[in-house]
Amino acid sequence: MKWWNRFGTSLLFAAFVAGIYPFYASFTELLLGRQLAFPAYVLTSAAIYLVGISHKPTLGLGAALAILGSGTLLLLAGASGSQLVLVTAVLIGVFRSGLLQGRDSHNFGRRFAREAVFIGVGLALAAYFSDGGVFPEAFALWGFYLVQSGFFLLGGSAARDRCERRSNLSPDAFDAAVRRAKEVLAASAN
């Protein structure tokens, strides 16, 4: 899918998720109650986020269903909203680097450390913003997804895609490209 797997589009997703939450909350609080409205939105936004960053629609849908299913099970088991948010954030990191974005197993330690920082800082910023109420919760969502945008700023899938394109070039193709560039430069100099 790759709808918001770049820094700019990820920032737009963060603003959209935060901006639409007050409208969502005003309707769902009537249906689900105050205690379930925010956790339900966290699960929904996380599922949409995972579908949007996936390079394959089936993987994104599978990750979204897994996060919705695990969140629903947590809510049925009586988990608090903060526990659900924590588990959802960790699952976002696991799916983003492990399944949806990461293909190279030799950089597992680096990916794990990067995800731990992004998830930890995102949760800390969300906790700082959320004091209860609809608008602080919207700011908490914005803060969390704002930090998650940093994943794409520091590389994310774009850096991986560039590395894969480079590794698919054979030395002969590179040498041919250099020769061709030298020919073009020499022809333009004459």
Q: Determine the Cα–Cα distance for residues 58 and 170; give it in Å rounded to an integer.
A: 31
CA-CA distance, 117 to 147, in Å (whole number)? 10
Distance CA 25, CA 33 (A): 9
- pLDDT(112) > 90: no
Q: What pLDDT, on the 0 to 100 scale, is given for residue 68?
A: 95
Cα–Cα distance between 56 and 160 in angstroms, integer? Answer: 15
Integer Rg of the chain from CA: 21
Tell me the pTM.
0.76
- Whether the pLDDT of residue 108 is over 80: the answer is no
Whole-number Å distance between alpha carbons of 81 and 5: 27
Q: What pLDDT, on the 0 to 100 scale, is given for residue 56?
A: 81
Q: Is the pLDDT at 74 greater than 90, yes or no? A: yes
Q: What is the mean pLDDT of residues 172-190?
A: 78
- Express each pLDDT in 117-174 by its tens digit: 999 999 999 999 888 788 999 999 999 999 998 888 876 654 445 444 554 544 566 6
